[in-house]
Amino acid sequence: MMITENPNIPPKLAVALKVLQALSFWVILLKPMIYEPQWAQSSLGTPIELYASHPLDELKKLKPIFLLGGVHGDEPLGVLLAQRTLELLKSEDKKAHPWALVPILNVDGYKKNTRVNGRGVDLNRNYPAQSWSPEHEKERYYPGPHPGSEPEVQAVVKFIAEFQPRLLIHCHSWKPMVVCAGEPGMKDAHRLAKSSGYEVQAEIGYPTPGSLSQFGWFDNRIPVICIEEADEASPKDVWPRFENGMREIFLDPSVR
């Protein structure tokens, strides 16, 4: 998917994303990394791309870090951060901890600049967590007809079950903070906090039933870091703010 297909992205951010995607194509040809252009499909049948450090059969044995961008389609700064992290991993491929990365999970919402997916579901309320609830105050938080109803979420759930990642990271934009669910993820959360100047929080500040944090940590004991960039942040400041933290997380070979 063209990451610049969202017509509401500011022109400067659209140019930056387009350049990054062009660079991605050439680096794929030069680096021994894995690219799955149709790793999964959205609720409307749109392909979802996945990149990985190793062949997927091999990656299953390595407890990778799994990073997601574009969970909410109206948060392009999260896509930018995921894409820049991907560029880092491509350039440092042989040094990095095993990893997998989805630049845009909500491909249809991203095209339309909407929080929800193509069927009007908030993907970060649709995980089959014990906390899932049909209750929602606004349509933009609609959790779906039942837990795990959306193909995008089903793909993430399947990945978690098969690959047992040691850490889940998802990139958003709202209010500046680093939210960490699970003590084993705190070291990496504080790396991002030190890099960005944002505070580490145990919760985002309101209930999130059916979220990735609920499903990942509370149901499966896999720590989850939710990066929240400021909505009003300048695109040019996003990567400099988080680069050091991402480097420390992905280039640390230790088992944590």
Residue 5: other Cβ atoms inside 10 A: 15
**151-197 pLDDT, tens digit each:** 999 999 999 999 999 999 999 999 999 999 999 999 999 999 999 99
pLDDT greater than 60 at residue 20: no
Q: How far apart are CA 36 and CA 17, in angstroms?
A: 19
pLDDT for 106-123, tens place per residue? 999 999 999 999 999 999
Checking if the pLDDT of 24 tops 60, the result is no
- The one-letter amino acid code at 11 reads P
Q: What residue ranges define each of the domains in the chain, with the CATH number in brackets?
A: 11-250 (3.40.630.10)
pLDDT tens-digit map of 184-195: 999 999 999 999
pLDDT given at position 1 = 61
Per-residue pLDDT tens over the stretch 116-150: 999 999 999 999 999 999 999 999 999 999 999 99
Q: Is the pTM of this model over 0.75?
A: yes
Which residues have a Cβ under 8 Å from the Cβ of 122 and sit 6 or more positions away?
72, 115, 116, 136, 140, 141, 142, 143, 144
**pLDDT of res. 82:** 98
Measured CA to CA, the distance from residue 14 to residue 17 in angstroms comes to: 5
| Alpha-carbon gap, residue 32 to 55, rounded angstroms | 10
**Higher-confidence position of 4 and 29:** 4
Torsion 138-153-5-78 (CA) sign: positive
222: its two tokens:
């896999």
What are the two backbone dihedrals, phi and then psi, of residue 52, each rounded to the nearest 5 degrees? -150, 160
Q: How far apart are alpha carbons 94 and 13 in whole angstroms?
A: 29
Question: How does residue 47 score in pLDDT terms, banded at 50, 70 and 90?
Answer: very high
Kindly state the percentage of the chain with pLDDT values over 90.
84
